[in-house]
Every structure is written in C-alpha cells, then in structure tokens.
Structure 1
Amino acid sequence: MLSRVTYQIELFLLSLSFFTRIPVPASVPYSTERMNQSGRYFSLVGLLLGLICYGVYSLCALVLPEHLSILLMMVCSLLLTGAFHEDGLTDMADGIGGGMTTERRLAIMKDSRIGTYGASALMMALLVKYSVLSSLAMQTSMLQLLLIGYGLSRAVAASLIYDMPYVSDAQTSKSKPLASRQTTRELGVLLFFGIIPCIGLDLSTLLMIGCVCCLLRFALKRWLLRRIGGFTGDCLGGVQQIIELTIYLILAATMIPQITYL
C-alpha cells in the first residue's frame, strides 16, 4: 500500500516538474512510461498553482491596490509555468492561422519566432484575463475562482490526449512524454481533480460551465482534427488558455446583476 502511494506521489512530482518551474527532488525516478502516466495529475498541478497565485495575490492586496495585486499575481503565474501554456497558445495561433497546409502549420508551430497571429492571441488573452479577474475580484472568492480556472482548464485540455491522435514530431515536441493515449482511469483522475473546485457553485452556474466546456472541447477537437489531424503540445497549451478564459467569462456573466426594465 505504501509503495503505491509513493509511486503516485512520484508521478505527481514528475507532472509538477514538467508543467512548472517548481523544483522537485532530483531523486524522483524518471522513465517515459512514468512521465506519460504523470499526465493524470495535470489538473492537480493546476490546483497547486492556483493556491500559490492566490497566496501572492493575498499578500500583495495587503499593501497594494486590487488591480496591481492581480497584475503581480499574473506575473507570478507566468514565472511559475515559464509561460508554458501561453507559448502553446501563441504557437497554435501562428501555425493554424498562418499555414495553408497541415505540414506548413506544424512547421510554423515549431518555429520559435512569434508572428502576428501569435502576438495578437497572446496580448488579447492576457488582457482579457486581467480585465475579467479585476472585475471578479470584488464579487467572488478569488481562491475558488483561481482553483476552478487553473484546475478545470487543465483537465479539459489534457483530456484531448484520451481520444485524439498525436501528430507532431515526438523528437522535438514539448509534449513528447505525454504523446501516448490516456487510460480511462487516468482520465478519471484528471477530471476528478479538475471538477473538485467547482463544488460550492450554484447549480445553474455549474451546469453552464459544464455544458460550455464540453461544447468547447468538442468544437476545438473537431477544429484541430480538420486543421492538423490531431493535437500537438502547443495545441494542449492553447486549449488550456482558451478554456481558462472561457471559465472566467462565464463566472463574470453569471454574476452580473439582472437588469430591471421600467
């Protein structure tokens, strides 16, 4: 029993080391199989990041205005992940927006340079995130907001591995260790940790988030299949960013007071 728990902890630490810049013990065993299995804890890593970002926000809010606290929290988030997912969004936008063929789109995604599509997508994503979080900060629990956004978005994005083919070059892609398909059990663990922070939301908001995330996942899956025939590591990062922003927008929409017409 203890060995099983230890094994799961090691998988979580591998996931943490892959998706963030947070240091883990050098003694954690590594193998391609272990790295692939560690994807089940992607959403749990998101919850940890949400907790850390909330801590930064809370400390900053003690001495700084709300908008500056949120800005510094976002900077911390980028530092914690090395802008891993934002880079994926940028590359996905450049590749799919600028390429005319599947081969060309995949080639552009591997290019380290940022094009117009990528720069526009990155700037708008950061601007929307800052604006929505600033709007929601005074209306709801920032802790639950971040846990839902960070955890659920990663669960939805990583779930694409379960039922989509991997199309990039495994020797150069950032998602090489996660390219194998997930088992049903791994998908269950991933979704479990992604859904946990949603507990406590009112039923209508919960249903709206669930339905929109499912529909958006379906739409993005079909779109990626048509455009490149599957997913790449950049696509997973791009989907995570899109889902996270969508969650914040839904929460903002459900908290707008109803308008009374005279």
Structure 2
Amino acid sequence: MHFPSISGFFSPRAWGADLLEAARLLTRLPLPRPSLPQTPQGAPEARASHASRCYPLVGAGIGLIAALGFAVADWLALPPFAAALAALALSILITGALHEDGLADVADGFGGGGDRARKLAIMRDSRIGSYGVLALVLVLTARGGSLAVIAASPAGPCGAAAALIAAHSLSRAGLAPVMWALPQARSDGLAAATGRPGGADALAALAIGVTAAALLLDPARALVAVLAVAVLQGGLALQARRQIGGVTGDVLGAAQQLGEAAVLLVACASLSGGI
C-alpha cells in the first residue's frame, strides 16, 4: 500500500482528464484520448492510475444510460422483466461486456485451476467453462430479476432508475480500494497497465460511490447496500490474494458484477419489508 502526494489532486483539469480516461477504459464509447498531466515524478502510468477515482462517476453515467433504456422500454408498455432485460442489454453494450467477461474468467480460474499458474492461465483463456457460465447466469438473473421486481413495485420505473444508477456507481467505487490494497498478480494485463492508485484516489472513489447511494436510495437501504458491496468485494479480494497473489483486470470485473448485483438485491429485498 502506498500514499503518494496529493499535489494537484483537486485540479479540475486533472479530474477532467481522469474522467475521460476512466470512460475510455470502462466503456466502448468512441472517446478521444485525453492528454494526461504528468506526475511530479514524471511517470505517465502513475498519472493514469488516478483515473480510478472517477470509476464511480463513469458508473453513474452507465447507469443513467441504462435507466433511460429502461424508461423507453416502459414507455413502449413492455412488461417489467422485458424492460429490465433491455436495461441490462444496453449496459452490456456500452461496456462491451468487460465486467461480465472478468466474472466468467475468475469463476473458471478460481473454480477449475489447481495452482496459481494454472488459475492465471485459465483466466487468460478466451474460452468459457462451466463455472463461468454458471456465474454469469446467476449474476445476470439476480440483476435482471431484482430490477424487474423493483419496477413492478410501487417504486415503479423511477425506483428502478435510481437503483440502477446507484448500483453502477457504488459497484465501481470499490475497485480503486481493491487496486490500492492488493499487489498486481501479473506484470502485464489491464490491471498492470492501469497502474496502482494511491490512497487518496481510493478514498475519493469510495466517497463518490457512497454519496451516490445516499442520494439515490433511502438511508437504511443505502447503508445496507454499502455494507453488502464491501463484504462481497472484500471477500473476493481476499480470495484473489490467496489464490493468485493479487489483483487482475478480471478480478476487478468480477468485483464490479458482484457489487452491482448486491445493490440491486438489497433494493429489491427492502420492498418486502426485509430492510
């Protein structure tokens, strides 16, 4: 773990460049490459790692677009589950299934690999195995089913939209802390290319995600959602440290998927009076 200097941390230009870099990484939108400011040490990769603090902002944008897709489907009088599928499909299209691919790879690697080298090799294989298929089915069903239940409740499409934006933002808020806390399992790959963020970036990402949840969900629901995301992503981080020695891009994708499903499940459970 490291706590680099936060010189220039509050620079609007730096935040703008970081937001654009984060959006380029997490989405397939045709965005220009930003001109990233250099760190005092002159390391471009260190500067690029600051983009992780903007992951929850990009997540909120993805959630907003997915919510607009849900609203259009609802306007077309599609049933709640069909509208939920439309929102999921739109979010997957925007991200290029980046996180879903990571979830499947982690499930296959952690479930089918015997040792660290084998697990990493399986995670790099483009083919998907039974563990990956099961993980995708379970998580997608949890996301789509929860969203449909929320939309069919008195909360309606507005409640579904709020839950979507909160889930996409909060689930990405935990990625920077995971990147900060764990060493990189590989010397190459997406996580290695992105770099390791500092403690200030991790705290900023958490603050943004928690604020989004607090604004979009009622206090009790937001608190439980934050705790659920922390437990799931923290547990996955511990497993990653134990099984492969650190973090990879696939681990971050799996963490996002688990976090998003957790927020939507919490929002769904609260409608039955459980929260």
Is TM > 0.5 for Structure 1 vs Structure 2? yes
Partner of 1:133: 147
Question: Which one of the candidate residues 251, 269, 272 is aligned to 1:235?
Answer: 251
8 Å CA contact 1:20, 1:81 repeated in 2 = yes
Matches within 5 A, 1:203-242: 203-242=219-258
Partner of 2:84: 70
Distance of aligned partners of 1:203 and 1:57 in 2 relative to their CA distance in 1, 3 Å threshold: closer
Between the aligned partners of 1:69 and 1:203, the Cα distance in structure 2 is 27
8 Å CA contact 1:144, 1:197 repeated in 2 = no
Between the aligned partners of 2:18 and 2:220, the Cα distance in structure 1 is 35
8 Å CA contact 1:22, 1:80 repeated in 2 = yes
4+ aligned runs moved over 4 Å, structure 1? none
Between the aligned partners of 1:160 and 1:257, the Cα distance in structure 2 is 32
Q: Structure 1 residue 142 and structure 2 residue 160: aligned?
A: yes
Q: Structure 1 residue 29 and structure 2 residue 44: aligned?
A: no
Superposed displacement of residue 52, structure 1: 0.9
Between the aligned partners of 2:201 and 2:179, the Cα distance in structure 1 is 11
8 Å CA contact 2:81, 2:145 repeated in 1 = no
3-state SS in 1 of match to 2:190: coil
3-state SS in 2 of match to 1:137: helix
Matches within 5 A, 1:1-262: 4-26=11-33, 28-29=34-35, 31-65=44-78, 66-139=80-153, 140=155, 141-170=159-188, 173-180=189-196, 182-200=197-215, 201-257=217-273
Question: For residues 122-154 of structure 1, what are the alpha-carbon distances to aligned partners after superposition, in whole Å with 9 as ceiling and x for unaligned?
Answer: 122112211111111133312210111100011
Between the aligned partners of 2:116 and 2:27, the Cα distance in structure 1 is 30
Structure 1, unpaired ranges of 5+ = none
Between the aligned partners of 1:67 and 1:219, the Cα distance in structure 2 is 30
Between the aligned partners of 2:264 and 2:85, the Cα distance in structure 1 is 16
Amino acid at match of 1:6: R
Amino acid at match of 2:226: G
- Give the TM-score of the pair, scaled to structure 1: 0.90
Superposed displacement of residue 198, structure 1: 1.7
CA root-mean-square deviation: 1.9
Between the aligned partners of 1:257 and 1:40, the Cα distance in structure 2 is 34
Superposed displacement of residue 36, structure 1: 1.4
Between the aligned partners of 2:212 and 2:89, the Cα distance in structure 1 is 23
Distance of aligned partners of 1:251 and 1:5 in 2 relative to their CA distance in 1, 3 Å threshold: same
8 Å CA contact 1:158, 1:236 repeated in 2 = no
Superposed displacement of residue 246, structure 1: 1.3
Q: What's the % identity of the aligned pairs?
A: 30
Between the aligned partners of 2:85 and 2:230, the Cα distance in structure 1 is 30
- Give the TM-score of the pair, scaled to structure 2: 0.86
Between the aligned partners of 1:68 and 1:115, the Cα distance in structure 2 is 27
Aligned residues: 253
Superposed displacement of residue 106, structure 1: 0.5
3-state SS in 1 of match to 2:174: helix
8 Å CA contact 2:232, 2:255 repeated in 1 = no
